[in-house]
Amino acid sequence: MTTVISVPPSLDEHTFEHVIEQLANTPEGSKILLDARHARWASPYGLTALLCVAQSRSERIGFAVPEHPDTVSYWSRTGFFRHAAELYDLHGSVPRSREAHESDVLLEITPITKSDDVHGVVGRIQQKAADILHGQLNLETAVTGSFGMALSESCQNIVEHAGLGGWVAVQTYKYTRRLGRRVVVIAVCDAGVGFRKSLESSPGHRQKDRWDDAMALEDAVLRAVSRFRHGDAGRGQGLAGIRRFVGRWHGKLTVRSGTARIGIVPEWDEDMPMTEGLPYFPGAQMQIIIPERVGEAPARTRSSATSATSARGRSRF
Amino acid sequence: MHIDVGTVLRGTVCDLYSNLVTRPTGAAVRTAIERQVTEIGAPVVTTIDFSQVNLLDFSCADEIVAKLLLRYTSDGGPQGFLTFRGIHDGHIDPIETVLERHALALVSWHEGEAELFGYVDDHERDHWIVVRDEGPVTAEAVAQRLGVAMAFAEEQLERLFRRRLVMRRDDGYAVPGVVHGSAGPLPGNGQGVQ
């Protein structure tokens, strides 16, 4: 008997939880069909996380592709079906894969398995990201470098911690429902070991009275703890840097791992800072949203360590 | 000695790369820099030039900037001083982040003027600025300039020296990279950069 798991018509980080709930109720070894026939829209998070679903099960899963031609065309342009064809048994008509030339697809879905992939992603996206961040989202030019850093560090988390290849995608679109503005979205998802197990593998890890996925996420995202931190004080700065980047540009960061989800939530959103007791899903799924700027530029926080007259650097003594 | 990090990156890791990203890349570049310094035999001042580097992430900033500085400031580390140049605005955040993480500071040259980045307290900063602006300068002159006791100024300057943020010279203290009395052409504010 085949268990049919429905993909919601609009697939984002919240509605993806419905997919996980259904999956969690399906025993390992069951025959599964992921039914996306009625899907109409998916965020980069939704698409990359769908690829992780296939990686999360030992048995090969069936996948019924969206019926609406616009949806299937758009998913195709994001590169989704090219990767899905290797992971799923696809059912339905899929257009021949082609390069993404859409201006809203900054980076089509790209596998990340090694450090070279990170170089490729960062190098490929740079000019297009600069055009969109500065030109369309009205952000200062300084955002481009920080954006590249955030992208690099989030992808490196897969290489260094997941133990299994993952996926990255970057898109820009109008975030009508919550914000009414354009946003750029980075989604980085894997179905690897997840934060809790990664931190547990550190020689310096000490089991606390309470230790679970939520605590692991707090350690990694809020306290910059890394499994490599033992013996190397410089580790763990990537997520801290992403958090700072998101804060500076009034963005949103969410990371789901295992049964918990942590959020750095801006004033324009009403998401929860921490959600626990979610149905288990392996690995880590991260989303970064940077919104279009309206009004004045944010105050520049950099001042120099050298003197009050210089504008470079920041003082933090 | 001048080391162009962009050249080291392309010569060591991949000739197509212009971004310093990922920890293995940073480690490879740092190792190549250390090899160059060892082969030549730690010169008085080594300048690490980032001007050909487009993007620098936290991992590479930690592997290159922080770990080189940690090596230089550790007991038994190489003789001499490290200075930096070509640090553009996009590099500052990752560099300052790793400096603060390790309680380090560095001297960087930008448009002919020395800058101090990283973890320094107010006294260290005040003393360093006097040395930058008036060096080579004696501890006595620094004490007078800041209106502090001579012993206090000496203590601060020695701390800066141990952190490799100022050099000791016969005629007092100077910021690494400054050439005074040179017959050659000097950029910026009458101060040369090695």
B57 confidence band (pLDDT: 50, 70, 90): very high
* B121-194 carries CATH number 1.10.10.10: yes
- Closest Cα to residue A153, out of B97, B103, B65, B29? B97
List pLDDT tens digits, range B1-28.
Answer: 899 999 999 988 877 777 999 999 999 9
Cβ A226 vs Cβ A262: under 8 Å: no
- Closest Cα to residue A182, out of A243, A135, A127, A231? A135
**B169–A contact, CB cutoff 8 A:** no
Assess whether pLDDT exceeds 60 at residue A306.
no
Cα B63 from Cα B26, distance rounded (Å):
5
A97 confidence band (pLDDT: 50, 70, 90): low
DSSP A67: S
Percent of chain A with pLDDT over 70: 88
List pLDDT tens digits, range A184-214.
Answer: 999 999 999 999 998 988 777 777 778 899 9
Q: 10 Å Cβ neighbour count for A9?
A: 15
How many beta-carbon contacts under 8 Å exist across A and B? 128
List pLDDT tens digits, range B149-184.
Answer: 999 999 999 999 999 999 998 889 999 987 654 433
Asked whether this chain's domains B1-119 and B121-194 adopt the same fold, the reply is no
SS3 (DSSP) at B37: helix
Chain A residue closest to B114 (CA)? Answer: A306
CA-based nearest distance B146→chain A, Å: 14
CA-based nearest distance B147→chain A, Å: 18
CB atoms B21 and A122 under 8 Å: yes
CB atoms B119 and A310 under 8 Å: no
Question: Does residue B81 come out as left (phi exceeding 0), alpha (psi in the -120 to 50 range) or beta?
Answer: beta
List pLDDT tens digits, range A119-151.
Answer: 999 998 888 888 888 888 998 888 888 999 999
- Chain A residues with CB under 8 Å of B66 CB are 234
Assess whether pLDDT exceeds 50 at residue A309.
no
Task: Please state which CATH number belongs to domain B1-119.
Answer: 3.30.750
Cβ A191 vs Cβ A52: under 8 Å: yes
**Cα–Cα distances in Å, from A31 out to A62, A279, B43?**
8, 19, 67
Cα A132 from Cα A73, distance rounded (Å):
23
Which among A118, A305, A307 has CB closest to B22? A118
Structure tokens, B168? 């000791």
List pLDDT tens digits, range A263-299.
Answer: 999 999 999 999 999 999 999 999 999 999 887 654 4
**Cα–Cα distances in Å, from B120 out to A278, A302, B83, B113, B175?**
45, 16, 16, 18, 15
Chain B residue closest to A115 (CA)? Answer: B22
DSSP per position, A216-247 = HHIIIIIS---TT-TT-TTTTHHHHHHHHHHH
Q: What is the pLDDT of residue A101?
A: 58
Cβ A268 vs Cβ A179: under 8 Å: yes
- Chain A residues with CB under 8 Å of B21 CB are 118-119, 122, 148-149, 152, 156
Chain A residue closest to B165 (CA)? Answer: A306
* A103-297 carries CATH number 3.30.565.10: yes
Q: Show the beta-strand stretches assigned E in B19-174.
A: 45-49, 81-85, 105-110, 113-118, 167-169, 172-174
Q: What is the pLDDT of residue A308?
A: 36
CATH topology of domain A1-101: Transcription Regulator spoIIAA (3.30.750)
pTM: 0.86
- Chain A residues with CB under 8 Å of B120 CB are 305, 317
Interface residues from chain A to B (CB-CB < 8 Å): 115-116, 118-119, 122-123, 126, 142, 144-146, 148-149, 152-153, 156, 159-160, 233-235, 237-238, 240-241, 244, 302, 304-307, 310, 312-314, 316-317
Contacts of B133 (CB under 8 A, 6+ apart): none
Dihedral angle sign, alpha carbons of residues B135, B140, B142, B145: negative
Q: What is the pLDDT of residue A163?
A: 78
SS3 (DSSP) at A277: coil
Q: Could you tell me the residue ranges of all domains in chain B?
A: 1-119, 121-194
CB atoms B55 and A149 under 8 Å: yes
CB atoms A119 and B94 under 8 Å: no
- Closest Cα to residue A89, out of A110, A109, A64, A68? A64
CA-based nearest distance A92→chain B, Å: 39
- Beta strand pairing status for A41-42 and A10-11? parallel
Assess whether pLDDT exceeds 60 at residue B186.
no
A177 confidence band (pLDDT: 50, 70, 90): confident
Omega of the bond leading into A27 within 30 degrees of 0 (cis): no
- Chain A residues with CB under 8 Å of B130 CB are none
- Closest Cα to residue A186, out of A274, A245, A259, A266? A245
List pLDDT tens digits, range B69-119.
Answer: 999 999 888 888 999 999 998 899 999 999 999 999 999 999 999 999 999
- Chain B residues with CB under 8 Å of A241 CB are 57-58, 93-94, 97
Which residues on adjacent β-strands are paired with residue A36? none
The whole-number average pLDDT for the span A83-106 is: 82
Chain A residue closest to B58 (CA)? Answer: A238
List pLDDT tens digits, range B105-158.
Answer: 999 999 999 999 999 999 999 999 999 999 899 999 999 999 999 999 999 999
Q: Which residue has the tokens 């980085």?
A: A188
